[in-house]
């Protein structure tokens, strides 16, 4: 059973702090990794993709991938109240089309 | 470029009925997939279509089916609706690029079964 695990939270951080979101996955052949943000009542929105070990930065977001440890993380610097949402980690094996396996999400709350 | 379009946005059906949901992918995207989202189970993969062929299928009963047309538009059908089918149904499209294909989601169809 291929699984993606996330801490459901809620993760609460003050405005301006760094929020750290973590994700582990079980399928070693997974090759592509994504972070989606989902606001309440809305659909998931892609915020980061990462395909190789190491860090990838995009604005205030940094994704980190460690395939040996089967671990993906997302750092949000200078957190804003507008970052309050559920963050979904998703894993793609590329051997089964584009199908994604999602974690159940971590709820982030940024207080002003 | 227009995003993924799903219709209708909301549906209310009665147990035993059937329903058809529609999805138009981003222009140029040939892969379309469907997901079910519920509070308890999260986002679960239903199936994926590419070039009018079902390429991959999740672990759902045969009451859930879909198809893709030559213009890449897709429909999914749920027959003999059950209360547990109440969920947000999300369609996503992708470029199907070698090395990793992010999915882009539509706004979803909220199905309520009474």
Query: What is the tens place of the pLDDT at every residue in B77-113?
Result: 999 999 999 999 999 999 877 767 899 999 999 999 9
Torsion sign over Cα A62, A107, A88, A4: positive
Q: Confidence class of residue A29 from pLDDT cuts 50, 70 and 90?
A: confident
- For residue B97, give every residue at least 6 positions away whose Cβ sits within 8 Å of its Cβ, in sequence order, or none: none
pLDDT at A9: 86
Provide, as residue numbers in chain B, all residues whose Cβ is less than 8 Å from the Cβ of A46: 102-104
State how far the Cα of A44 lies from the Cα of A41, in Å rounded to an integer.
10
Q: Confidence class of residue A2 from pLDDT cuts 50, 70 and 90?
A: confident
Provide, as residue numbers in chain A, all residues whose Cβ is less than 8 Å from the Cβ of B51: none
Q: Average pLDDT, stretch A103-109?
A: 96
pLDDT at A94: 66
Query: What is the tens place of the pLDDT at every residue in A54-88?
Result: 999 999 999 999 999 999 999 999 999 999 999 99
| Closest CB from B44, B90, B102 relative to A46 | B102
């Amino acid at each position: 059973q291929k699984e993606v695990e996330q801490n459901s939270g809620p993760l609460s951080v003050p405005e301006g702090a760094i929020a750290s979101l973590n994700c582990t996955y079980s399928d070693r052949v997974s090759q592509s990794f994504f972070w989606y943000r989902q606001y309440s009542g809305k659909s998931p929105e892609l915020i980061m993709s990462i395909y190789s070990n190491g860090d990838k930065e995009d604005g205030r977001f940094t994704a980190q991938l460690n395939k040996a440890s089967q671990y993906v993380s997302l750092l949000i610097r200078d957190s804003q109240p507008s970052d309050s949402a559920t963050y979904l980690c998703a894993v793609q094996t590329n051997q089964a089309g584009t199908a994604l396996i999602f974690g159940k999400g971590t709820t982030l709350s940024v207080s002003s | 470029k227009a995003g993924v379009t799903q219709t209708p946005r909301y549906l209310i059906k009665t147990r035993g009925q059937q329903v058809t949901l529609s999805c138009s992918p981003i222009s140029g995207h040939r892969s379309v997939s469907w997901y079910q989202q519920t509070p308890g189970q999260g986002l679960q993969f239903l199936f994926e279509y590419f070039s009018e062929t079902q390429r991959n299928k999740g672990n759902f009963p045969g009451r859930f089916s879909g198809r893709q047309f030559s213009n890449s538009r897709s429909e999914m059908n749920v027959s003999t609706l059950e209360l547990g089918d109440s969920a947000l149904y999300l369609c996503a499209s992708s470029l199907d690029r070698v090395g990793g294909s992010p999915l882009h989601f539509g706004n979803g169809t909220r199905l309520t079964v009474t």
